[in-house]
Amino acid sequence: MRTTPARRTALAAAVAGAAVVALAGPAAAHVTVQPGSVPQGGYTAVAFRVPDESDTASTVKLEVSLPMDHPMASVRIQPLPGWTAVLEKSKLDKPLNAHGKDITEAVSKITWTADAGTKIAPGQFQEFRVSLGAMPTDTDKLTFKALQTYDNGEVVRWIEEAKEGQPEPAKPAPVLTLTKAAAAASAAPAADHHASQDASGDQAAAKADDSTARTLGVVGIVVGVIGAALGVAGLRRKSGPAS
């Protein structure tokens, strides 16, 4: 049976769509840090999102290394039922000053281990939340290398760093982008300004519509009065010869 051009086009589209889905699937399953970006200089809460990529094994451990080239004075984990978290600290070559105090060591690694009966099963994911701060102001990103351990003993190392101009690595490390605080702050007034302009425009449009409606109403009344007057005059002319 011959294939018509329309059928060939539909078949090609279906194959292309399947290829896109197949390529997008693994990329979306990386260990990531959410949200992807936060302002510099502040304190924030992030979540390390861990999907289970195995068809048969479950995730039972996550290790996240914090960047010691940009250490943070405050690192706090949010309790997660079924998981035990351990924070490891390392000595700093240069003390951090936080709220007038010198910090000589900082958290360098967080390890979450599943309790008995707890796991991230195939087809599932889990988020591990952490409060961090203060964010550094001398870099535009932080890289968190992570190790994901399965209950069959397999360890997936999410430690590869992306390089400009090259394809994304197979096992990229989670990256948190840092944005300029001033830029983030100026976005709100700009948005308010545009909103004010939009509101003014809406008010002007509403006034114009109201004025137009009133004008049309007056014109309608005048036309009605003129029509009534003409009707009366016509009746009078018809009744004149009969008298």
pTM of the model: 0.65
pLDDT per residue over 104-116, tens digit each?
999 999 999 999 9
Neighbours of 166 (CB within 10 A): 7
Dist CA 217 CA 26 (whole Å): 65
Least confident of 13-22, 78-87, 143-152: 13-22
Least confident of 109-113, 136-140, 204-208: 204-208
* Position 29 confidence tier, pLDDT thresholds 50, 70, 90: confident
Find tokens 């943070």 and name the residue.
72
Q: What is the pLDDT of residue 100?
A: 83
Residue range 171-183: mean pLDDT, rounded:
89
Question: Is 240 or 18 the better-scoring residue by pLDDT?
Answer: 240
Between the alpha carbon of residue 177 and those of residues 36, 102, 143, 191, 239, the distances in Å are: 6, 27, 9, 22, 91
Q: What is the pLDDT of residue 234?
A: 52
Q: What is the pLDDT of residue 65?
A: 98
Mean pLDDT of the chain: 78
pLDDT per residue over 35-68, tens digit each?
999 999 999 999 999 999 999 999 999 999 999 9
Residue range 174-203: mean pLDDT, rounded:
61
Residue 213, pLDDT > 70, answer no
Q: What is the pLDDT of residue 25?
A: 38
Residue 136, pLDDT > 80, answer yes
Residue range 157-180: mean pLDDT, rounded:
94
* Position 227 confidence tier, pLDDT thresholds 50, 70, 90: low
Between the alpha carbon of residue 191 and those of residues 112, 197, 204, the distances in Å are: 41, 10, 20
Q: How do 101-114 and 59-65 pair as beta strands?
A: antiparallel
Residue range 173-181: mean pLDDT, rounded:
94
* Position 215 confidence tier, pLDDT thresholds 50, 70, 90: very low
Between the alpha carbon of residue 65 and those of residues 38, 72, 93, 105, the distances in Å are: 19, 12, 17, 15
Residue 216, pLDDT > 90, answer no
